[in-house]
Amino acid sequence: MHLVERKNKTGFSVMDSDDINRFKPIEGITIPDGMAYMLADIDTGKQTLNVTPNEALPTILQQNRSPLTLEEGIALITHYPELLGKNNGFSLLASRCGDRRVTALWISGGRPKLGWCWAGNPHTWLGSASCGGRRGLPAGNSL
Protein backbone atom coordinates (compact mmCIF):
# COMPACT_ATOMS: atom_id res chain seq x y z
CA MET A 1 0.00 0.00 0.00
CA HIS A 2 2.94 2.35 0.49
CA LEU A 3 3.35 2.36 -3.32
CA VAL A 4 -0.21 3.62 -3.82
CA GLU A 5 -0.42 7.37 -4.18
CA ARG A 6 -3.58 9.41 -4.69
CA LYS A 7 -3.60 13.21 -4.77
CA ASN A 8 -0.04 13.25 -3.37
CA LYS A 9 -1.03 11.13 -0.36
CA THR A 10 0.48 7.69 0.25
CA GLY A 11 -1.66 4.63 0.94
CA PHE A 12 -1.61 2.69 4.21
CA SER A 13 -3.02 -0.43 5.82
CA VAL A 14 -4.37 -1.15 9.27
CA MET A 15 -3.58 -4.83 8.72
CA ASP A 16 -0.13 -6.26 9.46
CA SER A 17 1.63 -8.43 6.87
CA ASP A 18 0.89 -11.70 8.71
CA ASP A 19 -2.83 -10.91 8.66
CA ILE A 20 -2.77 -9.85 5.00
CA ASN A 21 -0.96 -13.06 4.03
CA ARG A 22 -3.79 -15.15 5.53
CA PHE A 23 -6.17 -13.93 2.81
CA LYS A 24 -6.20 -16.37 -0.13
CA PRO A 25 -8.42 -16.69 -3.24
CA ILE A 26 -11.78 -18.29 -2.52
CA GLU A 27 -12.94 -21.51 -4.14
CA GLY A 28 -13.84 -21.03 -7.79
CA ILE A 29 -11.34 -18.22 -8.41
CA THR A 30 -8.67 -19.25 -10.89
CA ILE A 31 -5.60 -17.03 -11.14
CA PRO A 32 -3.75 -17.41 -14.48
CA ASP A 33 -0.26 -18.93 -14.34
CA GLY A 34 2.77 -16.74 -14.95
CA MET A 35 4.22 -13.49 -13.70
CA ALA A 36 1.38 -11.27 -14.86
CA TYR A 37 -2.15 -11.33 -16.20
CA MET A 38 -4.80 -8.83 -17.18
CA LEU A 39 -8.21 -8.14 -15.72
CA ALA A 40 -10.96 -7.43 -18.23
CA ASP A 41 -14.08 -5.30 -17.74
CA ILE A 42 -13.34 -4.03 -14.22
CA ASP A 43 -16.21 -2.67 -12.13
CA THR A 44 -15.53 -1.05 -8.76
CA GLY A 45 -18.99 -1.92 -7.49
CA LYS A 46 -21.08 1.23 -7.67
CA GLN A 47 -24.21 -0.94 -8.12
CA THR A 48 -23.38 -2.76 -4.89
CA LEU A 49 -22.95 0.28 -2.65
CA ASN A 50 -24.85 -0.35 0.60
CA VAL A 51 -25.15 -4.10 -0.20
CA THR A 52 -23.43 -6.53 2.15
CA PRO A 53 -20.50 -8.47 0.69
CA ASN A 54 -22.42 -11.67 1.51
CA GLU A 55 -25.32 -10.47 -0.67
CA ALA A 56 -23.11 -9.00 -3.41
CA LEU A 57 -21.12 -12.19 -4.12
CA PRO A 58 -24.01 -14.30 -5.49
CA THR A 59 -25.16 -11.34 -7.62
CA ILE A 60 -21.66 -10.90 -9.09
CA LEU A 61 -21.42 -14.63 -9.85
CA GLN A 62 -24.92 -14.73 -11.42
CA GLN A 63 -23.75 -11.97 -13.80
CA ASN A 64 -20.87 -14.26 -14.91
CA ARG A 65 -18.39 -11.91 -13.30
CA SER A 66 -15.62 -12.60 -10.80
CA PRO A 67 -14.92 -10.71 -7.58
CA LEU A 68 -11.44 -9.19 -7.26
CA THR A 69 -8.73 -10.55 -4.96
CA LEU A 70 -6.83 -8.49 -2.42
CA GLU A 71 -3.76 -8.38 -4.69
CA GLU A 72 -5.82 -7.37 -7.73
CA GLY A 73 -7.44 -4.50 -5.85
CA ILE A 74 -4.09 -3.14 -4.69
CA ALA A 75 -2.61 -3.51 -8.18
CA LEU A 76 -5.62 -1.72 -9.65
CA ILE A 77 -5.35 1.35 -7.43
CA THR A 78 -1.54 1.38 -7.74
CA HIS A 79 -1.98 1.99 -11.47
CA TYR A 80 -5.35 3.81 -11.38
CA PRO A 81 -5.66 5.53 -7.99
CA GLU A 82 -8.50 7.72 -9.26
CA LEU A 83 -10.78 4.63 -9.24
CA LEU A 84 -10.81 4.88 -5.47
CA GLY A 85 -12.90 7.84 -4.41
CA LYS A 86 -14.16 9.47 -1.27
CA ASN A 87 -17.42 7.73 -0.30
CA ASN A 88 -16.82 5.13 -3.02
CA GLY A 89 -14.49 2.37 -1.87
CA PHE A 90 -14.75 -1.31 -2.73
CA SER A 91 -14.56 -4.73 -1.14
CA LEU A 92 -12.30 -7.46 -2.48
CA LEU A 93 -14.56 -10.48 -2.13
CA ALA A 94 -12.31 -13.05 -3.83
CA SER A 95 -9.84 -13.13 -0.92
CA ARG A 96 -10.86 -14.62 2.41
CA CYS A 97 -9.05 -16.02 5.44
CA GLY A 98 -11.70 -18.28 6.98
CA ASP A 99 -13.45 -15.76 9.20
CA ARG A 100 -16.24 -13.22 8.56
CA ARG A 101 -13.93 -10.45 7.32
CA VAL A 102 -13.63 -9.12 3.78
CA THR A 103 -10.76 -6.86 2.77
CA ALA A 104 -11.62 -3.50 1.27
CA LEU A 105 -10.04 -0.33 -0.07
CA TRP A 106 -11.35 3.14 0.74
CA ILE A 107 -10.27 6.71 1.45
CA SER A 108 -9.51 7.59 5.06
CA GLY A 109 -8.14 10.97 6.04
CA GLY A 110 -7.65 11.67 2.34
CA ARG A 111 -5.39 8.62 1.96
CA PRO A 112 -5.98 5.24 0.27
CA LYS A 113 -6.55 2.64 2.99
CA LEU A 114 -6.51 -1.16 3.02
CA GLY A 115 -8.62 -2.53 5.81
CA TRP A 116 -11.45 -4.96 6.37
CA CYS A 117 -15.16 -4.97 7.05
CA TRP A 118 -17.56 -7.63 8.23
CA ALA A 119 -19.04 -9.60 5.33
CA GLY A 120 -22.56 -9.14 6.72
CA ASN A 121 -22.47 -5.36 7.14
CA PRO A 122 -23.59 -2.93 4.42
CA HIS A 123 -21.89 0.44 3.97
CA THR A 124 -23.28 3.31 1.88
CA TRP A 125 -19.72 4.12 0.71
CA LEU A 126 -18.49 0.57 0.00
CA GLY A 127 -19.32 -1.57 -3.04
CA SER A 128 -17.85 -4.88 -4.20
CA ALA A 129 -15.37 -4.86 -7.09
CA SER A 130 -15.49 -7.43 -9.89
CA CYS A 131 -14.14 -8.19 -13.33
CA GLY A 132 -15.41 -9.84 -16.50
CA GLY A 133 -12.43 -12.18 -16.55
CA ARG A 134 -8.72 -12.76 -16.15
CA ARG A 135 -6.39 -13.28 -19.12
CA GLY A 136 -2.89 -14.69 -18.85
CA LEU A 137 -0.06 -13.73 -21.18
CA PRO A 138 0.43 -16.07 -24.17
CA ALA A 139 3.17 -18.68 -23.67
CA GLY A 140 6.65 -17.35 -24.40
CA ASN A 141 5.82 -13.71 -23.58
CA SER A 142 7.44 -12.00 -20.64
CA LEU A 143 7.32 -8.55 -19.15
Q: What is the pLDDT of residue 142?
A: 55
Q: How far apart are CA 77 and CA 112, in angstroms?
A: 9
Mean pLDDT, range 82-107, rounded to an integer:
94
One-letter amino acid at 137 equals: L
Global pTM value:
0.92
128 bridge partner residues: 91
Q: What is the pLDDT of residue 68?
A: 98
pLDDT in tens, 67-78: 999 999 999 999
Mean pLDDT, range 76-90, rounded to an integer:
92
Mean pLDDT, range 103-118, rounded to an integer:
96
Q: What is the pLDDT of residue 37?
A: 94
Mean pLDDT score of the chain? 93
Which phi and psi angles does 69 have, rounded to 5°?
A: -85, 170
The domain ranges of the chain are 5-135
User: Which listed CATH number (3.10.100, 3.30.200, 1.10.3470, 3.90.320) goes with 5-135?
Assistant: 3.10.100
Grade residue 114 by pLDDT with cuts at 50, 70 and 90.
very high
Q: How far apart are CA 117 and CA 48, in angstroms?
A: 15
Q: What is the pLDDT of residue 111?
A: 95
